[in-house]
Amino acid sequence: MNEAQTDCVTEIVKTIMEHRRFLVATHVRPDGDALGSMLAMVFALRRLGKTADAYCQDPVPRTYSFLPGSHTIRDGAPLDFHHDVAVFVDCGDHHRVGARLAAYTKGMPLLINIDHHVSANPFGDISWVDPSASSTCEMLYDLFNRMRLVIDPEIACQLYTGLMTDTGSFRFSNTNRRVLEIAAKLVEAGADPSGIAERVFESALPQTLHLLARMLSSVSFHADGRLATGELSLRMFTDTGTTPAESEGFINHLRSVQPVTMAMLFREEEGGIIHVSLRSKDRVDVAVFAQRYNGGGHRRAAAFRVNGNLEGIRSEFTGKAIAYLLGSAEVDES
């Protein structure tokens, strides 16, 4: 943590101590780190005697319904909150929380942003962004220690879930000694590694496998096998009776193939929007690629959204990715 980040943490602690009513929110289509960090922050604030409410525009995916406090998250309901401070976690852009909440929080006195994504649109009165962190849950672990908050089994479960999911079960390149040490501390505090892993990775429904099969049948390889692309159309979700939440992690199947160094998954959304997920290996930095199109993320995991039809966008950005890969190769060899 550099000096600027240390100053941010100091400001966040000061703000928490000086205020009483908090709204904690995360991005639409929440994943394990988003939900884990949001709920952990809510539980920590309540432990400190604060009023804290959790909000996410989209419902909690069935996979994460085991998280302590998941049933208390407000979603999609009319906003009738009255808060002093909004805390956004794991959210690289103000609008990623959804239009309704973005508009609501614009008028709030204070907005805190805690995130580990490289963003093209930084925001917040206090913005603590640490791209070197494996997850937002890792950052909250540091914050809670700074506040001398004893981590109980519920918070340990929430933080461990975010740590585990954003490191791909401690397989991705953002896994290091510190991450494993934090995971061990969370287990000591009451997190159940095997139980959490089973709920997250081994509870798929039959229709989820049918969706995965449809996605895998769409896969193609380019640039001598270095680029893998796949797609998820609205029709695929309708035909299999699934939702986008059930496709979490699908892109990792593309990255797992040799000699793939960059994977792209094009997911069609309502309103002519295409969500493009990116994953990489070796020296390929997909965050740089995503930022060109107002997206963001990390070196190994990023995303962006564009308007258009699925077939056209896939063709266009496959070409852009091939050119980017060739450019990366030239840089690496120089």
Whether 180 and 257 map to the same domain: the answer is no
Whether 50 and 80 map to the same domain: the answer is yes
| Strands across the sheet containing 126-129 | 51-55, 21-25, 85-89, 110-115, 126-129
Whether 42 and 190 map to the same domain: the answer is yes
For residue 92, the domain's CATH number is 3.90.1640.10
- 8-state DSSP, 150: P
Low-confidence residues of the chain: pLDDT under 50: 330-334
What pLDDT was estimated at residue 329? 53
pLDDT digits (tens, 9 = 90+) for 175-200: 999 999 999 999 999 999 999 999 99
pLDDT digits (tens, 9 = 90+) for 235-247: 999 999 999 999 9
Whether 171 and 222 map to the same domain: the answer is no
- 8-state DSSP, 308: S
For β-strands 273-280 and 262-269, DSSP reports them as antiparallel
CA–CA dist 164, 137 (Å, integer): 10
> What secondary structure does DSSP assign to 1-29, as a single string?
--HHHHHHHHHHHHHHHH--EEEEE--SS
> What secondary structure does DSSP assign to 17-82, as a single string?
HH--EEEEE--SS--HHHHHHHHHHHHHHHHTT-EEEEE-SSPPPGGGTTSTTGGG-B-SS-----
Whether 75 and 106 map to the same domain: the answer is yes
Whether 245 and 192 map to the same domain: the answer is no
Other Cβ atoms within 10 Å of 14 Cβ, number: 11
Last residue of a domain, one of 143, 175, 201: 201
What pLDDT was estimated at residue 331? 41
Number of domains composing the chain: 2
For β-strands 227-232 and 301-307, DSSP reports them as unpaired
- Give the domain extent around 184: 3-201
Helices (H) and strands (E) in the chain, counts: 12, 11
Whether 196 and 245 map to the same domain: the answer is no
Residues in a beta bridge with 227:
222, 262
Whether 186 and 244 map to the same domain: the answer is no
Category of 260 on φ-ψ map: left (φ > 0), alpha (ψ -120 to 50) or beta: beta
* pTM assigned to the model: 0.91
Whether 222 and 141 map to the same domain: the answer is no
Whether 95 and 126 map to the same domain: the answer is yes
CA–CA dist 162, 89 (Å, integer): 12
In whole angstroms, how far apart are CA 221 and each of 3, 241, 319, 321?
44, 28, 12, 12
Q: Which residue has the tokens 């039959």?
A: 206
What pLDDT was estimated at residue 62? 93
For residue 308, the domain's CATH number is 3.10.310.30
Last residue of a domain, one of 201, 217, 243: 201
Category of 17 on φ-ψ map: left (φ > 0), alpha (ψ -120 to 50) or beta: alpha
| Strands across the sheet containing 301-307 | 220-222, 227-232, 262-269, 273-280, 301-307, 296-297
Last residue of a domain, one of 201, 231, 246: 201
Structure tokens at 100: 């309704």
What pLDDT was estimated at residue 77? 66
Whether 10 and 140 map to the same domain: the answer is yes
Whether 179 and 264 map to the same domain: the answer is no
In whole angstroms, how far apart are CA 257 and each of 220, 221, 279, 280?
12, 10, 12, 11
What pLDDT was estimated at residue 2? 85
CA–CA dist 295, 290 (Å, integer): 5
